[in-house]
A and B are shown apart, each in its own frame.
Chain A
Amino acid sequence: MMHFLATYGTQLLSKTGQHLLISAAALGLGVIVAVPLGILLTRMKHGANLVMSLAGVLQTIPAMALLAMMIPIFGIGSTPAIVALFIYSLLPILRNTYLGMQGVSPTVRDAAKGMGMTWWQMMTRAEIPLAAPVIMSGIRLSATYVIAWATLASYIGAGGLGDFIFNGLNLYRSDLILGGSIPVILLALLVDYLLGKVERAVMPKPLR
């Protein structure tokens, strides 16, 4: 253990950094796209199901295949990895945003509108605050997925902790496999914990 850290310590840190960066970028993009899209879907009578099933289909593409498919478009490196992980992050966020917004009681919406809120005020002061915990739990779920799957990104040369694991597999070195896996697990747990805190923070006080 000490020996492993002495040998690979700096590498481990930089790979963890890479891993985190790829995951964060993918998740960030996912949030930017899926949250507004999910809100928009609740405003449309049709199309919600179509978009949701499309996102569902994207989710079923095997991770390896999706990564491989990115290569002809984006080449190798972190860009194709981020795009692929972004696609994976969409569904949980999209679905939770949609459900969260749908879950806002029609009475509240009616009252908000009837008292003279504009569309934007209804969104920002009533609906989004009330849907926030559900949206946030979707983001949290996506974050864990993305961190786990970012391991595969090393396969298309994006780096990250996956490099340890793939090297370990090729060289039959279990210490390398574990040295990559354990940080991934810890990272996923840590991020999940932190986002759980955020989820609680955005939750309306009386519901905590």
Chain B
Amino acid sequence: MLLSMEHLRKEYPNGKIAVDDFNLEVDRGEFIAFIGTSGSGKTTTMRMINRMLNQTSGTIKINGKDISKMDPVKLRRSIGYVIQNTGLMPHMTIQENIEMVPKLLGWSKEKREEQAHKMIALAQLPDEMLQRYPGELSGGQQQRIGVVRALAADQELILMDEPFGALDPITRESLQDLVKHLQKDLGKTFIFVTHDMDEALNLSTKVVIMSQGKQVQVDTPENILRHPANEFVTNLIGEERLIRAQPNILTVSQIMLKNPAAITPDKTLEDAIEQMHERRVDTLLVTDKTGVLQGFVDLDDINRIADAHTPVSRFTQDRVFYVKANALIGDTVDRILKKGVKNVPVVDEDKRLVGIVTRTALVDIVYDALHGAPDANEKPASPINADIHAAATREGGEMPQ
């Protein structure tokens, strides 16, 4: 456990409670986003971690050590700090800015210089830029420096207070990629304050949603999108975003139809036709006795065969396109739609048939994602789609290839 915060509380002399009973455990390499409306206490909480503010009660431990017993200056030198509008020293060169904390820590000149070159490369900026002054750089370049400066003394934990709030969307995105890379590849731990929900959902491994000094929900972005704790969270995320996120959080198993029409290979043609008639479909999926998908049979193929006792295995087409039940819709929808098939069998990890996804169900999801449909998540997908599925298979002769 890199960082743990227990029963943290911050009360101002005027009686205002900024943070109330805040608890959080942060592992190494995590990316934590604090998000909430202004005045929710997110920045206050973050600033207590490097003792820019002191808590009224509760404890913060870094690597098991209570920070209230540490020298605040030493503590701050061990924690990276990035703020909005960069906080670069305008009277120092980029190199001097990057070398600031290493210099405070008394590193040798050679070591500092080496680190400056390393850091500017990490920021994906040209080496010559070290000799420039912050004022000569664009806002995005400045903040890149701001970010790598926070790592220059090999800090493990980096605090960021709305670091990209003042940047345009494109620059912001490239900066987000940079920090994501630092977190993933260098294993740095980030605590990140933002009011941008997209940013929080895209970057973080854990989102802490705050309101009026309290934690409303603490969970992974996926779980927050899937199960918003209450109306506040729903509103904060936004209906639009919830719907748009569906392809990314829904799995195939959530939209598939269960109990697809299937037959075993040892059955005869007669059985197959009878089952098609019963289920009102023109194709049957073929599975072995243990339920493993083998292929499918098509009404067209059956027509050409005269003998009613031919076993199903003789006219099974084994080139079948299928998807895994636990795959995310977002990852599979393109593949399915591109294939141009009407429906796709769904299998589990052992390739056992568990259901079928119809093209119509996918179209609904894509449509909702584009245009939004407030009632989309209330509508149970299966019953409606069942009819469509039946209809589609009745008309269409095309089967998954």
Residues of A within 8 A of B (CB): 107-108, 110-118, 121, 125-126, 129-130, 204-207
Known: A114-B52, A115-B81. 12 other contacts (CB 8 A): A107-B84, A111-B83, A112-B87, A112-B89, A115-B76, A115-B101, A116-B78, A117-B73, A121-B104, A204-B91, A205-B91, A206-B133
Chain B, 48-81, contact with A by CB distance < 8 Å: what is the 0/1 string? Answer: 0010100000000000000000000111111001
20 contacts between A and B (CB under 8 A): A107-B85, A108-B90, A110-B87, A111-B83, A111-B87, A112-B89, A113-B52, A114-B52, A114-B81, A115-B104, A116-B74, A116-B78, A118-B73, A121-B104, A125-B89, A129-B91, A130-B91, A206-B90, A207-B91, A207-B135
Whether the pair A116, B77 counts as a contact (CB closer than 8 A) is yes
Least Cβ–Cβ distance between B151 and chain A, in angstroms: 12
Whether the pair B83, A107 counts as a contact (CB closer than 8 A) is yes
CA A117 to CA B83, docked complex, whole Å: 16
Question: Is B256 part of the contact surface with A, judged by Cβ < 8 Å?
Answer: no
Contacts of B52 in A (CB 8 A): 110, 113-114
Contacts of A129 in B (CB 8 A): 91
Contacts of B83 in A (CB 8 A): 107, 110-111, 114
Interface-centre pick from B90, B133, B159 (highest chain A CB count, 10 A): B90
Least Cβ–Cβ distance between A201 and chain B, in angstroms: 13
Whether the pair B76, A116 counts as a contact (CB closer than 8 A) is yes
CA A121 to CA B76, docked complex, whole Å: 14
Contacts of A126 in B (CB 8 A): 89
Question: Is B40 part of the contact surface with A, judged by Cβ < 8 Å?
Answer: no
Question: Is B318 part of the contact surface with A, judged by Cβ < 8 Å?
Answer: no
Least Cβ–Cβ distance between B143 and chain A, in angstroms: 12
Question: Is B88 part of the contact surface with A, judged by Cβ < 8 Å?
Answer: yes
Least Cβ–Cβ distance between A108 and chain B, in angstroms: 6
Question: Is B100 part of the contact surface with A, judged by Cβ < 8 Å?
Answer: yes
Residue of B nearest to A121 (CB): B104
Contacts of A205 in B (CB 8 A): 91, 133
Question: Is B215 part of the contact surface with A, judged by Cβ < 8 Å?
Answer: no
Segment 131-186 of B: residues with Cβ below 8 Å from A = 133-136, 149, 159
Name B's interface SS.
Answer: mixed
Question: Is B343 part of the contact surface with A, judged by Cβ < 8 Å?
Answer: no
Q: Which of B91, B104, B134, B135 contacts A116 (CB 8 A)?
A: B104
Q: Which of A107, A118, A125 contacts B87 (CB 8 A)?
A: A107
Question: Is B211 part of the contact surface with A, judged by Cβ < 8 Å?
Answer: no
Residues of B within 8 A of A (CB): 50, 52, 73-78, 81, 83-91, 100-101, 104, 133-136, 149, 159
Least Cβ–Cβ distance between A109 and chain B, in angstroms: 9
Residue of A nearest to B105 (CB): A116
Contacts of B78 in A (CB 8 A): 116
Whether the pair B90, A116 counts as a contact (CB closer than 8 A) is no
Whether the pair A107, B86 counts as a contact (CB closer than 8 A) is yes
CA A207 to CA B74, docked complex, whole Å: 32
Whether the pair B90, A114 counts as a contact (CB closer than 8 A) is no
Least Cβ–Cβ distance between A83 and chain B, in angstroms: 36
Contacts of A110 in B (CB 8 A): 52, 83, 87
Interface-centre pick from B75, B76, B84 (highest chain A CB count, 10 A): B76
Least Cβ–Cβ distance between B179 and chain A, in angstroms: 17
CA A113 to CA B104, docked complex, whole Å: 12
CA A206 to CA B73, docked complex, whole Å: 29
Contacts of A114 in B (CB 8 A): 50, 52, 76, 81, 83, 87, 159
Least Cβ–Cβ distance between B286 and chain A, in angstroms: 66
Least Cβ–Cβ distance between B34 and chain A, in angstroms: 16
Contacts of A125 in B (CB 8 A): 89
Least Cβ–Cβ distance between A71 and chain B, in angstroms: 46
Least Cβ–Cβ distance between B86 and chain A, in angstroms: 7
Least Cβ–Cβ distance between B98 and chain A, in angstroms: 11
Least Cβ–Cβ distance between A8 and chain B, in angstroms: 48
Residue of B nearest to A114 (CB): B81
Residue of B nearest to A111 (CB): B87
CA A69 to CA B39, docked complex, whole Å: 57
Contacts of B77 in A (CB 8 A): 115-116
Whether the pair B104, A117 counts as a contact (CB closer than 8 A) is yes
Whether the pair B101, A116 counts as a contact (CB closer than 8 A) is yes
Contacts of A113 in B (CB 8 A): 52, 76
CA A108 to CA B88, docked complex, whole Å: 7
3 A-B pairs closest in CB distance: A111-B87, A204-B91, A116-B77
CA A118 to CA B101, docked complex, whole Å: 12
Whether the pair A206, B89 counts as a contact (CB closer than 8 A) is no
Contacts of B134 in A (CB 8 A): 206
CA A129 to CA B96, docked complex, whole Å: 14
Q: Which of A121, A130, A206 contacts B136 (CB 8 A)?
A: A206
CA A129 to CA B73, docked complex, whole Å: 21
CA A112 to CA B92, docked complex, whole Å: 12
Contacts of B86 in A (CB 8 A): 107, 111
Contacts of B100 in A (CB 8 A): 115
Whether the pair A207, B73 counts as a contact (CB closer than 8 A) is no
Residue of A nearest to B72 (CB): A116
Contacts of A117 in B (CB 8 A): 73, 104
Whether the pair B74, A206 counts as a contact (CB closer than 8 A) is no
Interface-centre pick from B74, B83, B89 (highest chain A CB count, 10 A): B89
Contacts of B74 in A (CB 8 A): 116
Contacts of A130 in B (CB 8 A): 89-91
Least Cβ–Cβ distance between A176 and chain B, in angstroms: 49
CA A112 to CA B100, docked complex, whole Å: 9
Interface-centre pick from B52, B78, B91, B100 (highest chain A CB count, 10 A): B91
Least Cβ–Cβ distance between A136 and chain B, in angstroms: 14
